[in-house]
């Protein structure tokens, strides 16, 4: 059956339509300052996160006209950086140009091999009956910026036993061989993670399915990422279909497995129970790279499929998280804010005080800021932090450190404009409090990223507060406790 080409190249879109989209977004009050977001339209999965030719490369799936024109376009938008903080736009990289990706390139990854960046991605196609055929595509970017596809595709359609939901290859090289994990749905409608293998990155074969030891994978497993850290194996993945009570958890989450290294021969993976990577409202489709200095760095899409956000009224939606360095400690994956972000720090304020029981302390933080709050001494009852709050505290995103119930609660009921309230406004997670609690907060115009105790607990969320919500209010419902606060105004990232 002949395929229908619904999408087109970016250069073929009339300039007046592109200008209208950019103008609509330029007037938005919701633009971020130091986060990656699109010039217009819809941003979702980060792709091709890699280091090549002396620069960091990062793409994201991009539909620039999604909210303002009846023109279909979906591709990869390309950025480069010297420091993972300031990014330069390179324009579209992968576009719907062949019969193998006629309905847009889906997610994929990249690694540098000698003088080329090898890119492995899924091409999406549809036929006249709107039936999908996925193709796993290899492409190359050379040092002069020339992009070429390898045709025919590395894999055509899905293997036997799987549906057409077969996508998102994450490639790596080990001991001179090439591997990739790919998200899949089996014909029994269960999610799974499949391993692909190649001796030369040209010819690929399906090696098999990772044994996941009774892990709940839902009806589809997307955006898998396998790597090894401190002599252990880590698999990050996005299961779909696990949300039972939609008022208590996100419709889609990011999970990870930690265990022994993946056995490349029989694909056994002896791992601990699954853990949630991020406890916020808006996180999905994470991807990591191995930096030249050996650090494992993660970024993610700060958004969730099938959710709506107020910025859509201004023709844009979606932002990426700040980069995070991954480490392992006590059987948990820690996510520390990338240290290079400190170059964005501007005006600094510091407060040291003892917070007595049933008292509160407020200070002006600003909308675009970084704040570190350290409580010295064990929390035995509970302390609340009203983030991006109005001066009175009536409007805020509320973080509760509840030692009585041994949990952390994030509540955006009164955060500002309502967001996806049908899926609940509170998220709670178990937490064992220690002798010191350190809360590290990155606030941008419409986002909060919270890291507790060096990233042992992390929450990423979109919020859309009013213009006067620039305060942090700490309220103690506990015995007296010592508190130190360091806060910086953050400058915008440099763009080119």
Long-range contacts of 405-413 (CB under 8 A, 24+ apart): 406/430, 406/431, 406/432, 406/433, 407/431, 408/279, 408/452, 408/457, 410/279, 410/280, 410/281, 410/450, 410/459, 410/461, 412/281, 412/461, 412/463
Task: Give 333's strand partners.
Answer: 328
DSSP 127: B
Residue 111's φ and ψ, nearest 5 degrees, are -140, 150
Sort strands 41-52 and 316-317 into parallel, antiparallel or unpaired: parallel
Structure tokens at 399: 């973080």
Both tokens assigned to 92: 């579209």
CB 120 within 8 A of CB 49: no
Q: Which residues pair with 134 in a beta bridge?
A: 124
Give the whole-angstrom CA distance, residue 123 versus residue 133: 8
Which three-class secondary structure state does DSSP give residue 249? coil
d(CA 80, CA 450): 26
For residue 259, what are the β-bridge partners?
233, 271
Residue 219 has phi, psi (to 5 degrees) of: -90, -5
Do residues 158 and 136 make contact, with C-beta atoms less than 8 angstroms apart? Answer: no
Active site residue 245: no
Q: What SS3 class is residue 156? A: strand
What is the SS3 assignment for 13? coil
CA gap 441, 247 in Å, rounded: 25
- Catalytic one among 12, 19, 45, 282? 45
**Per-residue DSSP letter, 262:** P
* Residue positions annotated with a catalytic role: 45
């Amino acid at each position: 059956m002949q395929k229908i080409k619904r999408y087109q190249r970016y250069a073929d879109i009339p300039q007046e339509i592109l200008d209208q989209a950019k103008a609509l977004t330029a007037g938005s009050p919701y633009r971020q300052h130091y986060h990656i977001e699109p010039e217009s339209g819809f941003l979702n999965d980060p792709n091709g996160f890699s280091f090549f030719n002396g620069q960091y490369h990062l793409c994201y799936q991009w539909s620039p006209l999604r909210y303002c024109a009846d023109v279909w376009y979906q591709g990869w938008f390309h950025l480069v950086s010297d420091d993972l903080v300031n990014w330069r736009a390179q324009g579209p990289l992968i576009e719907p140009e062949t019969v193998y990706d006629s309905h847009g390139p889906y997610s994929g990854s990249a690694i540098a091999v000698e003088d080329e960046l090898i890119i492995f991605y899924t091409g999406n196609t549809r036929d006249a009956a709107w039936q999908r055929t996925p193709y796993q595509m290899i492409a190359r970017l050379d040092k002069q910026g020339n992009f070429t596809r390898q045709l025919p595709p590395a894999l055509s359609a899905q293997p036997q036993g799987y549906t057409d939901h077969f996508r998102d290859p994450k490639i790596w090289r080990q001991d001179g061989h090439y591997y990739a994990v790919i998200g899949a749905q089996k014909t029994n409608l269960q999610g799974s993670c499949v391993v692909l293998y190649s001796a030369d990155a040209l010819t690929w074969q399906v090696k098999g399915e990772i044994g996941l030891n009774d892990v709940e994978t839902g009806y589809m497993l997307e955006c898998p990422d396998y790597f090894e850290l401190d002599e252990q194996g880590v698999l990050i993945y996005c299961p779909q279909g696990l949300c039972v009570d939609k008022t208590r958890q996100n419709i889609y989450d990011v999970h990870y497995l930690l265990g022994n290294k993946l056995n490349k021969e029989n694909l056994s993976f002896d791992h601990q129970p699954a853990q949630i990577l991020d406890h916020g409202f808006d996180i999905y489709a994470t991807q990591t790279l191995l930096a030249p200095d050996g650090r494992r760095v993660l970024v993610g899409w700060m958004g969730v499929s099938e959710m709506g956000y107020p910025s859509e009224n201004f023709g844009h939606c979606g932002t990426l998280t700040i980069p995070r360095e991954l480490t392992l400690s006590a059987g948990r994956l820690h996510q520390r804010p990338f240290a290079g972000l400190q170059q964005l720090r501007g005006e600094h304020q510091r407060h040291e005080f003892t917070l007595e029981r049933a008292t509160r302390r407020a200070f002006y933080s600003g909308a675009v800021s970084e704040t570190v709050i350290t409580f010295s001494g064990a929390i035995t009852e509970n302390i609340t932090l009203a983030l991006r709050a109005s001066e009175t505290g009536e409007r805020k995103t509320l973080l509760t450190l509840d030692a009585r119930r041994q949990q952390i609660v994030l509540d955006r009921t009164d955060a500002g404009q309502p967001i996806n309230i049908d899926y609940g406004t509170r998220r709670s997670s178990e937490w064992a409090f220690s002798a010191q609690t350190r809360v590290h907060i990155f606030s941008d115009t419409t986002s909060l990223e919270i890291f507790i105790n060096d990233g042992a607990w992390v929450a990423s969320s979109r919020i859309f507060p009013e213009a006067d919500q620039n305060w942090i209010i700490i309220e103690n419902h506990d015995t007296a406790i010592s508190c130190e606060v360091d806060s910086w105004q953050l400058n915008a990232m440099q763009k080119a």
